[in-house]
Structure 1
Amino acid sequence: MARRKRDHLRFGVFSAPFHLPIGRSPNLLIHRDIALAEHLDRLGFDELWMGEHHSIGAEIIGDPLLFLSHVAARTSNIRLASGVVSLPYHNPLLLADRFSLLDHISRGRVILGIGPGALTTDAHMIGLEQETQREAFAEDAQVLVDLLNGEWVTAKTDRYTLNDAHLHLTPYSDFEMTVAGTATPTGPRIAGRHGLGLLTLGATSAAKTSDSVLSGAWDTYCLEAAKAGHAPDRNGWRLVGYAHVAETEEQARNDVRHGIDAFFDYLQYTQASAYYGSLGISTTDERIQYVIDSGMGVIGTPEQVVEQITHIREQTRGGFGAFLLGHHEWADWHSTLRSYELFAEQVAPHFQGQLDAPIRSKKWSEDNRDELGRGQRISIARALGEPEPTNLK
């Protein structure tokens, strides 16, 4: 079967996963994450990304590779990605071994997404100095890439020692490896240095901030790639943003009143985030308006989401490979599933060339309706023994 053309956008979901408010059955919520994966697979989404977190009680997937291994057996087509593995938390050899096994289990449907780690509480618990976290990530990325490329590695850091380390099970596929980052230069630099894919978090907010933020991130990537002799490929660039979609904007706004306060309470008052802690918004209406005005996401109709993605493509000055919806629980479970259905039904096809043929065929039929129907009307008249019609319009 022919694959979708590369110049058509791919779409996926990037899940932390946020389960807010805290205080509901973790077991039920984990099984909802599994059900979400199955739902997205049925809808034809291209990718599902699942995060790694170890504290605070909301983002309760501690091992994305273990979760994705289970999901691989319950889905058929959707690609499964670690979104992302916090690389400095792990011994690179053991991580490479686990990913290679998952690549075999899924028969090549997995993507290895890596990052420095987002939650300061996670780093604190394992004694990782936050000030050195990004330096540790850069160091570990080199080791991990070398191992997955089949090299033997000897290395010593404050966190691990490797002696003649190598993989005795190589990956099943020519898999993708992607580096997560914001619109700052760190992620693009490391991704470009190793010729890896780039995952830009907060891309919709960045596009709202300045015409040059996203294109600047890609320029940084290309500069580092050129230094290392890698050819940049925009198909491996993924952007992440939020959306809740309903039939009307009013319905979408009403839907998110269910859970948007719990989401912002977590970001502003629970998570140790310097950015969100200083927002200074507290009412439901203020938070809904912030999402829209800041570019953080769309709370509205499919047409509004199409407009936003179109704007982002223009901001990148050359395009990107995939757009990932940040998963949230702003709306209740059933409205959330419906939002993904509307996205798959009315947003994704707009960017994948799926609408051109049926629209063109409909117009052709309308333009030729009278001429094409002429013979049929004559045939019916003859069968009924009636005079042939003279007015054939």
Structure 2
Amino acid sequence: MRHGIFLPPFHALNENPHNVLHRDLELIEWLDQLGYHEAWIGEHHSAGFETISSPELFIAAAAERTKHIRLGTGVISLPYHNPLMVANRIIQLDHQTRGRVMFGAGPGLLASDAMMLDIDPNTQRDRMEQALDLILRLFRGEVVTEKTDWYSLKEARLHLLPYSDPFPEVAVASAVTPSGGRLAGRYDLGMLCVAAAETTGFDALTANWQTACEIAAEHGRAMDPRRLRLVAPFHIAETRDKARENVRFGMQAYVDYINNNMPRFDVPPGEDIVDYWMRVKIGVVGTPDDAIAQIRKLQAKQGEFGVMLHMANNIADWEATKRSYELYARYVMPVFDGTNVARDESYDWVTRHRDTLSRQRKEAAQRMIDKHAAERAAKTGRKEVTDRRTGSLIS
């Protein structure tokens, strides 16, 4: 299993917008140092909280600051863009990052974004499918002449071949509806299940994956679970009480924003916001062991999947957030990526042979002590006696 984040991002309205943008870049640097495998960056244009409007611009800056972490658009809202322009920007990033970019596509989540662009939300999923089909054809080197009710292309082609072979990895967003699974199965793409820990998203996991698998089979293919990514909120600390204390920093503002956009969290009047979060089990607020248990729960529901992504929701302050990612890297990642298997086996092997190894070590040490004593006696003509426990000379 690989590990990463899904960064919409979420930033409270009372924070300095310049600082939080640079802090997002600093977060990607921190994850790169900790050994996280990937980060997906969102696109939003309204509502105040989700402040990155161009994931491509952000990725270009983040790539210059990092060495290893892969960077994905999470996601580009395809109905908002001419598909040729999207394809060209992704291939340019493919070269600038030397193959570290991933292309995530979706229809657009915020109805307020679509409203400003005078796009009927009922058309977004159809337009996303049209654009995705065209972009994949361009990635494969096709020359396209095509006219629709929202774009027109004449002999369109890419003038840069992809850096990646055959082109950057492509994934589609999937939440509750089957649209993402349908496209993933049809085009052999990865899936970004962006609400895996929420009740409706969790309940839809198996159905959407099954949809993808069935449609892939109709096209003579099998879906690869290594390209399935699940997104869930995590905040961990050394103790559950400390984690609860940490998230009180920003949880209310986060829940208020989500409900202001589209009511999803029905918090009863008077109930403490952290108590509510824990009661309905939206992700993890706890310890590394709680994070491990959450991932095991997702595995039990979904089966094998390739990447666990943290929903970067900034419900804790900056230092506590960095500490959470560090604790996850130290204690959760090794459980699922197998990096400690050989160490555990070596430790257990030594434990099983401890008595034999201890006896052999003592015997070898005593032989050296006796050899030294014999050599000294032969040289000086005086017998030397040593303490067998410490090896020190006593006569």
TM, length-normalised to structure 1: 0.90
1:117 counterpart = 2:108: yes
Shift of 1:55: 1.1
Q: Which of 136, 143, 150 matches 2:141?
A: 150
Moved more, 257-266 or 229-238: 229-238
Aligned counterpart for 2:66 among listed residues 63, 69, 75: 75
1:310 partnered with 2:302: no
Give the Cα separation in 1 of the matches to 2:275 and 2:93: 41
**Using the alignment, how far apart are the partners of 1:147 and 1:349 within structure 2?**
39
Whole-angstrom distance in 2 between the partners of 1:380 and 1:300: 49
* Alpha carbons 2:107, 2:125 under 8 Å: kept: yes
Instruction: Give the Cα separation in 1 of the matches to 2:355 and 2:227.
Output: 48
- The answer to whether the aligner puts 1:188 opposite 2:181 as a matched pair is yes
In 2, Cα distance between the equivalents of 1:205 and 1:24? 27
- C-alpha displacement at 1:349, in angstroms? 0.7
Offset at residue 337 of structure 1 (A):
0.2
- CA deviations 1:133-156 (Å, max 9, x no partner) are 112112211111111121122222
What's the RMSD between the two structures over aligned residues? 1.9
Decide whether aligned partners of structure 1 residues 264 and 283 sit closer, same or farther in structure 2, where only a CA change above 3 A counts. farther
Amino acid at match of 1:312: L
Report the counterpart of residue 42 of structure 1 in structure 2. 33
Give 1:209 shift: 5.5
Q: Distance in 1 between matches of 2:119 and 2:200?
A: 32
Q: Shift of the alpha carbon at 1:305?
A: 0.9
Q: How does 1:53-92 map to 2 (within 5 A)?
A: 53-92=44-83
Distance in 2, Cα, partners of 1:338 & 1:179 = 30
Letter of the structure 1 residue corresponding to residue 349 of structure 2: W
Superimposed CA distance per residue, residues 4-26 of structure 1 (whole angstroms, 9 cap, x where no aligned partner): xxxxx111100000011x13211
Matches within 5 A, 1:290-305: 290-305=276-291
Q: Does 1:354 align with 2:339?
A: yes
- 1:379 Cα deviation (Å)? 4.7
Equivalent position SS for 2:321: helix
Give 3-state SS (helix, strand or coil) of 1:350's partner: helix
Counterpart of 2:318 (choices 333, 337, 347) is 333
Question: Which amino acid counterpart does residue 309 of structure 2 have in structure 1?
Answer: L
> Contact conserved, 1:203 with 1:241, CA < 8 A, in 2?
yes
Q: Please identify, of 254-263 and 369-378, the stretch whose mean Cα deviation from structure 2 is larger.
A: 369-378
Aligned partner of residue 357 in structure 1, secondary structure: helix
The 8 Å contact of residues 202 and 296 in structure 1, kept in 2 or not, is answered as no
Query: Are the aligned partners of 1:207 and 1:312 in contact in 2 as well (CA < 8 Å)?
Result: no
1:386 aligns with 2:378: no
* Partner Cα separation in structure 1 for residue 269 and residue 58 of structure 2: 34
Q: 1:367 to 1:147 in 2, by over 3 A?
A: same
| Correspondence list, 1:18-33, <5 A | 18-20=10-12, 22-33=13-24
Bigger RCO (CA 8 Å, 6+ sep): 1
Aligned partner of residue 98 in structure 2, secondary structure: coil
Report the equivalent of 1:6. Answer: none
Candidates 178, 195, 198, aligned match of 1:202: 195
Displacement of 1:341 = 0.3
Q: CA deviation at 1:204?
A: 1.7
Does the CA-based 8 Å contact 2:195-2:201 persist in structure 1? no
Question: Aligned pair in 2 of structure 1 residues 292, 154: CA closer, same or farther (>3 Å)?
Answer: farther
User: CA separation in 2, counterparts of 1:387 and 1:24?
Assistant: 71
The SS at the match of 1:73 is helix
Q: How many residues align?
A: 373
CA distance change for structure 1 residues 282 and 30 in 2, over 3 Å: closer, same or farther? farther
Give the distance between the partners of 1:120 and 1:41, measured in 2 at CA.
Answer: 33
Deviation, 1:377, is 2.8
Q: Does the Cα contact within 8 Å between 1:16 and 1:50 map onto a contact in 2?
A: yes
Does the 8 Å CA contact 2:185/2:216 hold for their aligned counterparts? yes
Deviation of 1:296 after TM superposition, in Å, equals 2.2
Aligned residue among 348, 360, 365 for 2:350: 365
Cα distance in structure 2, aligned partners of 1:282 and 1:170:
57
What displacement does 1:168 show? 1.0
Provide closer, same or farther for how the CA distance between residues 120 and 282 of structure 1 changes in structure 2, counting only shifts above 3 A.
farther
**1:212-361 alignment to 2 at 5 Å?**
213-269=204-260, 271=261, 273-276=262-265, 279-281=266-268, 285=272, 287-316=273-302, 318-361=303-346
Could you give the per-residue CA deviations for residues 348-383 of structure 1, whole angstroms, max 9, x where no partner exists? 110011122222222222332332233433454526
Contact 1:17 1:51 in 2 (8 A): yes
Aligned to 1:176: 169
CA drift of 1:229 comes to 3.2
User: Which runs of 5 or more structure 2 residues have no equivalent in the other structure?
Assistant: 374-384, 390-395
Shift of 1:158: 2.6
> Could you say what secondary structure the match of 1:265 adopts?
helix
Structure 1 residue matching 2:172: 3-state secondary structure = strand
Aligned residues of 1:47 and 1:78 also touching (Cα < 8 A)? yes
SS of match in other structure, 1:306: helix
